[in-house]
Structure formats: C-alpha cells, structure tokens
Amino acid sequence: MADILQLRSWPVFIGVGRLFSITGKLSDLLQSEQLNYAAAAICIEATKITLVNLRTESEWQLIWDTAVQLAESNDVTVSTISTSRQRRVPFLLSDSVIEETTGGRADINQYRTSVYYATIDSLLGELNSRFSETNNYLLQSLHCLVPSSPSFLHVPSLLPFLNDYDINVESITAEAAVAINFLKEASPLSSIHHDYTHLYEAKECFPDTLKALQIAMTIGITTASAERSFSSLRRLKSYLRSTMSQERLYHLSLQHVERDLSSKLWDCIDELVIQFADTHKNSRLLQ
C-alpha cells in the first residue's frame, strides 16, 4: 500500500496497463472462433508498429504527466524526482568482479528503461518469434480458403500456402474452378468447415482441395481450442473420477468437447440402446 501511495510507482502501472490493453485486443481477435486470417495478419503487424512507436521518451513523458495529474486529483503529494548521484563500489569489493547491482534508489529514468522499455521489448520479441513475416504470408494465403474472402479459391493467392505444404498446384487449379461453381449450389457458407462438408460429398472430384481444407482446419493461430479442451478435461477427470480407465476418459472427453454433435444422439436414443444391446449380448431379464 505504501508503494501505491508513492508517485514513482504510478507511471509503471499506467505504462504497463496501456501496453497490455493494446496486446489484449490482439489476443481477443486471435482467440475468436470465426477468425479472419488476413485481418489477423494485418493486426499483428499493426500491433508491432504501435509498440515500436510507444518506445520513445516522449511517450514515457506523456505517461509521467498522466500519473502526475492522477496523483494530484487523488491528493497524493507530487515531488520532483531528481537523478540520484552515481554510487561508488564499496572498498571491500573494489578488487572483485561484481555481476549484480550494489543497491541504491532508482530514479524515474531507470523505471523507463528497466520496466517500460523492457516490457515493450519482451512483447515485441514474443510477437516476432510467434508471428514471423513468413507466417503472416501463410495466414494471408490461408484466408483464400474462407468462403467469405473476396479471393476465395484464388490459386495465385494460395501459392505460399500450397508450396509450403507441397500441394499439387496444377491439380488444385483445375479443381478450384469446379469447386467454386459446386459450392454456389449450396447454402451460404461461412467457414472452412462448411466448405469441407459440402465438397466431401463429391470427394473423388476434389482430392487436393479437400487436402488443403483439412490442413487449414488443423492450423491453429491460437491455443483457445486446446485450452477449452483442457478445461473440459478438468471437469471430467475430477478427484472423484481419478481412477477411470484411459479408454473411458477418452470417450467422455470426446462427447463433452463435441457436445454440439453428441447432444443430437438423444433424438435416436432408442436405436442406440438396441444397437448396444445387440453388440454386447449380455442383457439379462429381471424377474
């Protein structure tokens, strides 16, 4: 509580909060179920540029001025923080190799470099490692498999994706022309999964197109689906069910994760009971 009442901590809270609010919006986009891959690639680059532009002394000064105004409005004493004097190494350590700092108060400029700049550098490093220029090209190419895309099944735009996954370009060029007309007869499509479902009805005609769609459906720009699966697993394998077999756990997990499909089984529950009884042949009549 004492640190919160000191002005020197406020710019750090405001600056870090501002950075996380920017990256948080990108995180929300990447975790959406109906993800626009091309828009995601553009937003990733825009977020990187925004973070780079925030890494300046002028932006830090704006954060400092905001902290001063906020402190004054909350009756917190505002005093000028001067740069501390250069501290000397203790005499007993003069002949030693010192790998750590020897203490002392940090001024506002040290907060700027050691916290604010360090946070931006860490965020940029993670974004660059996860979303390189090559990956962004693949995302933009992948968007051509989404039915709502203006360049839907446009083979030249798909080339980065096709070459990276070694899909026959000549074959998919011939299939794409037929697939576009084939899908026009279907109901309005909104996702890659819908494309795959309708084209699978004539799978002999579109082998390479279906292969591309299968790969696209398994490429996850986000771990949101995996996180939802693990959350489901935690609800299933509780402390009261910790001794269940792996086979039973697998089937329960599948039914729970795909509950939008398993819930439809109630429409034919009688047929399932009869099929189960005929398969196991271990029913007994109770008298």
The pLDDT tens digits of the residues spanning 205-240 come to: 888 888 888 888 776 544 455 555 556 666 666 655
**What is the four-CA torsion angle of 93, 95, 99, 105, rounded to 10 degrees?**
40
Residue 102 has phi, psi (to 5 degrees) of: -100, 20
Rounded mean pLDDT, 118-136: 83
Q: What is the pLDDT of residue 195?
A: 81
Predicted local distance difference test score (pLDDT) of residue 2: 46
Average pLDDT over residues 46-68: 86
Record the tokens describing residue 187, joined without a space.
């109901």
Q: Is the pLDDT of residue 247 over 50?
A: yes
- Assigned token pair, 7: 């002005």
pLDDT band for position 1 (cuts 50, 70, 90): very low
Quick check: 73 pLDDT over 50? yes
117 pLDDT above the threshold of 60: yes
CB 266 within 8 A of CB 272: no
**What is the per-residue pLDDT for 53?**
92
Task: Please report, for residues 15, 53, 65, 69, the alpha-carbon distance to residue 72 in angstroms, rounded to integers and kept in the order given.
Answer: 18, 28, 11, 5
Sketch the domain layout of the chain as residue ranges. Answer: 7-81+106-131, 146-218, 236-280
- Residue 54 pLDDT greater than 80, yes or no: yes
Which of 30-34, 65-69, 142-146, 263-267 is the least confident region? 30-34
Choice between 45 and 9, residue whose per-residue pLDDT is larger: 45
Amino acid at 39: A
For the chain, helix (H) and strand (E) counts, in that order, are: 14, 0
Cα-only R_g, the chain: 29
CA distance 142 to 186: 22
Say how far apart CA 172 and CA 178 lie, in whole Å: 10
Residue 152 near residue 138, CB atoms below 8 Å = no
Average pLDDT of the segment spanning 161-190? 82
What pLDDT was estimated at residue 283? 62
Contact status, residue 14 vs residue 71, Cβ threshold 8 Å: no
Mean pLDDT over all residues of the chain? Answer: 75
Residue 68 and residue 7: Cα distance in Å, rounded?
Answer: 7
Nearest to 109 by CA among 57, 154, 38: 57
Helix 169-184 and helix 207-218, axial crossing angle in degrees, nearest 10: 90
